[in-house]
Amino acid sequence: QAWTNGINKAGKMALQAWERETGIELVQINGQRRYGAPPPGWVGGPPPAGTEVYIARLPQDIYEDVLIPLFASVGKLYEFRLMMTFSGLNRGFAYARYASRQAAHRAIATFHRFQLRYGCAIVVCWSTQKHELLINGLGASVSQQELEAMLQRVTEGICSVSLHTSPFLKQAKLAVVKYSSHEAAALAKKALVQGNVRLGEAKMRVEWLDPQLKQMLQLCEEKPPSSRVQEGESPAVPPPLSLQNAMNCLNTLCWKHHLKTSLFMTKGVQVNPNGWKQFWYQVMAPGSHVLISGFTWIAPDRQGHSQQQKAKAVAALSILWLLAEFL
């Protein structure tokens, strides 16, 4: 305790003097120190979404006695949160929530690249309100009930939990957890990481959910397409799938595993009386000489979308299934 109190002692004393002089009360909970929410004299509910800015590259020995007056100079603050280390230094970033979007915009325009000190330009931008976490490294035997019980024990504000077979590792699962707010998700991430929480023998890895990975998980939950056509029946067709989504997911997976780009070929081979078109496709697995080929039927599209583009999306999905099986 004496060691931590001695770090940046002058800065801490200046902060305490400022608190006494202004009567402002700062509350520290779970690694962050908060002002407001609501501030003194606030009337009504909290401000709408889109009023919070993210502040980064702060010198670690600067505190609220400097930051709050600075950011309050462009508009009324509803809340200010400074992320703190165990030693009492700040972690280099903070969040300021304003009474209006206009005030938040002024803060960005005024303070982005502002020289807080000589040679120390800070970053100020719109805060990204992420609500979803990805928990990786779960064992194949982990159940939904076990996972939810663990999360409810160590985190708050859970809205939903979904468990998936991992597309990256054999005999493994991953989970997507949605929280009620960005703050709740950030606190949960901190609790899970710093608490060294385990579920089974494997150590979990917790990170923010990547939107492209989310799309890939949704695609992998679909049933694989069938190209067989029974006599007298309409040809089978895969679930609706956009080429852009399939390619985004494939490119994300290849990037994560340092693989090369896949090469595609598609060719229409026949059309039935109802306008359904059969395509042959071939795709080379990224980073190898393995060729995957097959046939798929594509329904006519009254909106004018390319049937060949849809066939290419089916080929991309086939590669995704292969990579999910072997990576």
Q: What CATH number has the domain bearing residue 264?
A: 3.30.160.20
pLDDT above 70 for 287: no
- Which of the four pLDDT bands, split at 50, 70 and 90, describes residue 312? confident
Long-range CB contacts (within 8 A, 24+) of 140-145: 140/171, 140/172, 140/173, 141/200, 142/173, 142/199, 142/200
218 in a structural domain: no
- Tell me the average pLDDT of the chain: 80
pLDDT at 302: 58
93 in a structural domain: yes
- What are the pLDDT digits (tens) for 169-186? 667 888 999 998 888 898
Say if residue 104 is in the same domain as residue 167: no
74 in a structural domain: yes
CA quadruple 219, 224, 225, 230: dihedral, nearest 10? -150
Give the C-alpha separation, 322 to 317, whole Å: 9
Q: How many residues does the chain have?
A: 327
Other C-beta atoms lying within 10 Å of the C-beta of residue 261: 13
Domain end residue (candidates: 126, 153, 170): 126
- What are the pLDDT digits (tens) for 8-53? 889 999 999 999 999 999 998 878 899 999 999 999 999 988 899 9
Say if residue 201 is in the same domain as residue 258: no
Q: Is 232 left (phi over 0), alpha (psi -120 to 50) or beta?
A: left
Say if residue 159 is in the same domain as residue 93: no
CB 25 within 8 A of CB 18: no
CB 145 within 8 A of CB 112: no
258 in a structural domain: yes
What the block records as the tokens of 55 is: 């502040």
Say if residue 116 is in the same domain as residue 141: no
Say if residue 197 is in the same domain as residue 257: no
Kindly state the average pLDDT of the residues 284-291. Answer: 60
pLDDT at 295: 73
137 in a structural domain: yes
Indicate the DSSP class of residue 238: P
Structural domain of residue 253, as residue ranges? 243-325
State how beta strands 32-36 and 27-29 pair: antiparallel
Strand, coil or helix: what is 162? strand
Higher pLDDT: 187 or 262? It is: 187
